[in-house]
Structure 1
């Protein structure tokens, strides 16, 4: 059975930045940024067989289709990881 969200997404979509309460989120100080590191996940080239209509659909969405496929696979992976915990 699918979970339903109790979040009022329509109301949230209408909020602009000054109307969002961030009082419970601490500001990040200079110390944080001094020690912060940018970590970009490494990519690995692979060969994958996709149905031709699936590949054409992704390509039809424009540049970055491989990134979009990767994002969808990541979302699926994360959902499966949460489900199995």
Structure 2
């Protein structure tokens, strides 16, 4: 892959995701302008330092599964060193 985000269609094909963000406008904004817009967003109110202090990182539970992979594909992952299953999980998640 080229590092760009894609979406998988039901037929298995991939289509590039296109965003609607006006990056030029955003790059010109000051931090104060960004903070003012964020503060006005009732759906995404900024968290206080006290709230962040209570925040907890929660990782999804993993489930043991049997997965059939092509021999050469599995060989490549294993050749990258310890943690090949975690790397496969990370790639599938992203």
TM-score (norm. length: structure 1): 0.53
Total equivalences in the alignment = 61
Could you tell me which of 41, 46, 52 is aligned with 1:33?
A: 52
**Alignment deviations for residues 44-70 of structure 1 (CA, whole Å, 9 cap, x no partner):** 000111111100000001111111111
Write out aligned runs for 1:1-85 (5 A).
Answer: 2=16, 23=31, 24=34, 29-75=48-94
Q: CA offset at residue 33 of structure 1?
A: 2.1
Gaps (5+ residues) in structure 1?
8-21, 76-85
**Alignment deviations for residues 21-50 of structure 1 (CA, whole Å, 9 cap, x no partner):** x83468964212233122111100001111
More strand by share: 2
Q: CA RMSD in A?
A: 2.9
TM-score (norm. length: structure 2): 0.49
Gaps (5+ residues) in structure 2?
1-14, 24-29, 39-45
More helix by share: 1
